[in-house]
Amino acid sequence: MRKLIDLPDNAAGSQDLPVRERPSKGRSSKGVTGQSMKHESAEKHVTGKAVYVDDMPEYPNQLHVAVGGSQHAHARIKLMNLSAVRAAPGVEAVITVKDVPGHTDIGPVFPGDPVLVEEICEYVGQPIFAVAAKTFEQAKKAVALAEIEYEVLEKVLTVEQALEKKHFVRPTHQHKRGDSAKALAEAKYRLQGQQYVKGQEHFYLEGQVSSVMPTEDGGMMVYTSSQHPTEVQKLVAEVLNVSINKVQVEVRRMGGGFGGKETQAAPLACIAALLANKTGKPVKYRMSRHDDMVMTGKRHDFLNTYDVGVDEHGIIQGAEIMVAGKCGNSPDLSDAIVDRAMFHSDNAYYLNNATVTGHRCKTHTVSATAYRGFGGPQGMMVAELMMDDIARHVGEDPLTIRKRNLYGVKHDHIKTADGQVDERNETHYGQIVEHNVLPELIEQLEASSNYWQRREEIKAFNANSPFMKKGLALTPVKFGISFTVQFLNQAGALVHIYTDGSIHLNHGGTEMGQGLFLKVAQVVAEEFQVDLDTIQVSSTRTDKVPNTSPTAASSGSDLNGMAARDACLRIKEGLFKFASEHYGVAEDKVRLQSNHLVVTNDNGEEQWVPFADFVQQAYMGRVPLSSTGFYKTPKIHYDRETGKGRPFYYYANGAAVSEVLVDTLTGEYKVLRTDILHDVGRSLNPAIDIGQIEGAFVQGMGWLTTEELVWDNLGKLQSNGPATYKIPAVGDTPMDFRVKLLEDRPNGEETVYRSKAVGEPPFMLGIAVWSALRDAVSSISDYTISPPMNTPATPECVLNSVMAVREQMAEQMANTDAADA
């Protein structure tokens, strides 16, 4: 008979029979938290062995999907004839909304996203019908044979049009603190400004894909590339009209997500499931890059305006800010995204008396969606616009103005209503900025980047260089961590220990390259004090950990790390109780260390029992070796009625200094050097964190420089492929790139090992590049004019900025001449 386990000869704890080679005692375990371990899939990535959904073996009867989309931005379908599509070679099924057995709306939060259009099309490319054929090429060719007649309706394509018509997907929301109108009226200087910040295509290298297989219970097994398996599960169940437990969703890894697979993966899974349900065959829906770019959501464009009052030192007395997001045709996640833009329209600066208004504009374009930063970056842009403009107005260096306006930087002459020196630490939505590291962080970065000396060198360079001009800027980031929708701040995990001491870990988070599986495994290694390679993390599955939140809002390791830790603590409680009984010592005399159970007897002598042996003993002693874990974020609340609360558990911080060179004859530019100092609390894995920071910075820089979404005036996306939409390439990385983690600053809140979230915050460090470009252009006016510069600041946009400054200088000159005359 096969033995279930190998019992050690001496059940009391021999060290002679390690199941596998064990390190000797005294050495710390390899791969616990704080170590720069390699990505858990690194070797699989480099050998091509890492399996993505499209790499899974196909069944002989596998069908492939293509979808027919609307040709118009806003139109009524008058007539639809799909007979040629149905008759095309290889086609096995064609569905319209009439073929949906269950719900037809798959909006994630609010309704508004039909799985297939019933009558009214609201953006170019919106799915109307879907085809399953033997090959992808056959499906694609069949789609082109559809005959659809439209009645074209009046369309709204821009934020400006939507604002004018009050054409919104959700009601406007406002934050108010103090009396901004009074502060503006009484301020020494009052400045106004406006900017248009365009959106961004995610350009995850792996496009959207779902592969589904009908099950014997009338349900569906779904393999997808999604940040939100639970939502995919729920929506697939709803469109099929089956209970949620009939659908299983599995996500092993994504080839990038960046928010683009939070809600946008679900339509593919739903459509594939509908076709699989109809045909009884496995169905794969993988979008071509073109379809992915046209049919799925992107970052929101924002139109921002500010009206700010400052004193003679450039310190803000009050501000009125408007942020208006281009939400596209449906609410999707836009309510929370525009909220986050509002929450971050102060960035790191104390606005004092403030009114912040956020509009959710409805346009006949594809519904904008989550993208790294989730509205925060667009909100921050208005704060940084203000800082540069104030600096030029009062004639100070922008860094000086930024520092004076930071939260927590007190000025003796600025008092509250009751005459006290203002602490300057309350945001416009009532959250107190605690554990504020930014003033100190900026000071360190200012020194390490040699900001002031370089400022002088740059001024000298610019004075002598005829058309090549340099620019320099330091911009900070204060980013609120937590889902602003409170219930999402929960997570579950599942940990098993097997009888050979190996550990299996599942949690609700998904792996999209950010190293979440690794970080959570390091947490488990830390808790059990075992080597990381004894822990196996497997796919995220809805039947392992249910009812999960999306892996989003930078919350992956905060939430899932804590949930996994909770599971470990539960198992450990049983293990320690057992060890205490088994070895006849008090519970505080046993501990886990270096892959061993260490038992200290009354004489102070230690007995080291290999972890695997101890686990076998515990199994024989009938101790549970498996547990779920759960976590919910404490302290957070937000009242939408009053616009006040504490939406964020804590803030993550960082700052970047970028130096650029601009060719003022062509508008071309290059980032010469970037220094970053970023705060991740006590890092779970410095290499992973630095990877997140560098990648986020470059992605943020791309958003503000070369990545330009272009729609034509019919509402068609023109930048619909990598040939026309340019994400940063290898040469765009700053030539000199210095990234450091802020040291010795554990998180002031009780997060997992006092670490901080890192996914999104460094994205906004890219704003330093935009500000440096403005600085370089401003130099042609000897820093007297704050150049207009919408984003992305393409070479064209920069040249326009140069020309605008020259025109303004010519006007000033003409005015001066006129005055002299």
Residues 671-690 that bind other proteins (CB under 8 A): 672-673, 682-683, 686-688, 690
- Binding other proteins by CB under 8 A: which of 30, 134, 167, 289? 289
CB of 436 to other proteins, least distance (A): 21
Q: How far is the CB of 412 from other proteins (least distance, A)?
A: 37
Q: Residue from 214, 282, 513, 647 that binds other proteins (CB under 8 A)?
A: 513
117 lies in the site for other proteins, by CB under 8 A: no
- If one counts every other C-beta atom within 10 angstroms of the C-beta of residue 19, the result is 18
Catalytic residues: 760
Q: Is 508 in the site for other proteins (CB under 8 A)?
A: no
Choice between 190 and 740, CB closer to other proteins: 740
Number of residues near other proteins (by CB under 8 A)? 105
From 31-39, 265-273, 616-624, 630-638, span contacting other proteins (CB under 8 A):
31-39
Footprint (CB under 8 A) of other proteins, residues 389-428? none
* 406/441 with CB nearer other proteins: 441
52 contacts other proteins (rule: CB under 8 A): yes
Distance CA 126, CA 178 (A): 44
Give the strand order in the sheet containing 540-541: 91-95, 127-133, 63-69, 283-286, 209-214, 220-224, 247-251, 540-541
Closer to other proteins at the Cβ: 142 or 197?
142
- Measuring CA to CA, which residue among 493, 490, 498, 549 is closest to residue 517? 493
In the region spanning residues 185 to 204, those forming contacts with other proteins, defined by CB under 8 A, are: 202-204
**Is 514 among the residues that bind other proteins (CB under 8 A)?**
yes
**Amino acid in the structure at residue 543:** D
User: With binding defined as CB under 8 A, does residue 512 bind other proteins?
Assistant: yes
Indicate the length of the chain as a whole number: 821
**SS3 of 157, please?**
coil
454/470 Cα distance (integer angstroms): 10
In this chain, which of 39, 72, 170, 541 binds other proteins, going by CB under 8 A? 39
Instruction: Round to whole Å and give the CA distance between 626 and 149.
Output: 59
In whole angstroms, how close is the CB of 326 to other proteins at the nearest point?
Answer: 18
- By beta-carbon proximity to other proteins, the closer residue of 56 and 432 is 56
Shortest Cβ 709–other proteins spacing (Å): 10
Instruction: Please identify, among the stretches 37-45, 495-503, 575-583, 776-784, the one whose residues bind other proteins according to the rule CB under 8 A.
Output: 37-45
- Stretch near other proteins under the rule CB under 8 A, chosen from 13-21, 314-322, 326-334, 698-706: 698-706
CB of 670 to other proteins, least distance (A): 5
Closer residue to other proteins in complex, CB, 482/522: 522
Q: Does 743 bind other proteins (CB under 8 A)?
A: yes
Give the residue with the Cβ less far from other proteins, 526 or 749.
526
Q: Binding other proteins by CB under 8 A: which of 7, 18, 25, 38?
A: 38
Q: Which among 670, 659, 689 has a CA at the least distance from the CA of 728? A: 670
Q: Which two tokens stand for residue 629?
A: 């874990």
Site string for other proteins, 76-115 (x = CB under 8 A): ----------------------------------------
Instruction: Tell me: does residue 32 bind other proteins (CB under 8 A).
Output: yes
Task: Determine if 466 is a binding residue for other proteins (CB under 8 A).
Answer: yes
Half-sphere exposure of 652 (CA within 13 A, CB side): 32
Which of 145, 153, 163, 468 binds other proteins (CB under 8 A)? It is 468
Cis peptide preceding 398, ω within 30 of 0: no
Q: How far apart are CA 795 and CA 781, in angstroms?
A: 19
Q: Alpha-carbon distance 83 to 120, whole Å?
A: 21
Q: What is the dihedral of CA 732, 705, 39, 45, to 10 degrees?
A: -70
Strands (DSSP E) contained in 571-729 are 590-593, 596-600, 606-610, 626-632, 637-639, 644-646, 650-663, 669-678
Site string for other proteins, 201-230 (x = CB under 8 A): -xxxxxx-----------------------
Q: Under the criterion CB under 8 A, does residue 47 sit at the interface with other proteins?
A: yes
For the bound state, the minimum distance from the C-beta of residue 405 to other proteins, rounded and expressed in Å, comes to 28
Give kind and range of the element (H or E) at residue 579.
Answer: helix 562-583
- Whole-angstrom Cα distance, residue 287 to residue 75? 24
User: Of 710-739, which residues contact other proteins (CB under 8 A)?
Assistant: 710, 718-719, 721-724, 726-733, 735-739
Question: Which residue's CB is nearer to other proteins, number 107 or number 256?
Answer: 256
Any alpha helices (H) in 344-486, and if so which ranges? 376-394, 398-405, 438-448, 451-464
Residue whose tokens read 């765009």: 732
Contact status, residue 436 vs residue 407, Cβ threshold 8 Å: yes
Render 631-663 in DSSP notation, one character per residue: EE--S-EEETTTTEEE--SEEEEEEEEEEEEEE
Tokens representing 469 are 């001009």
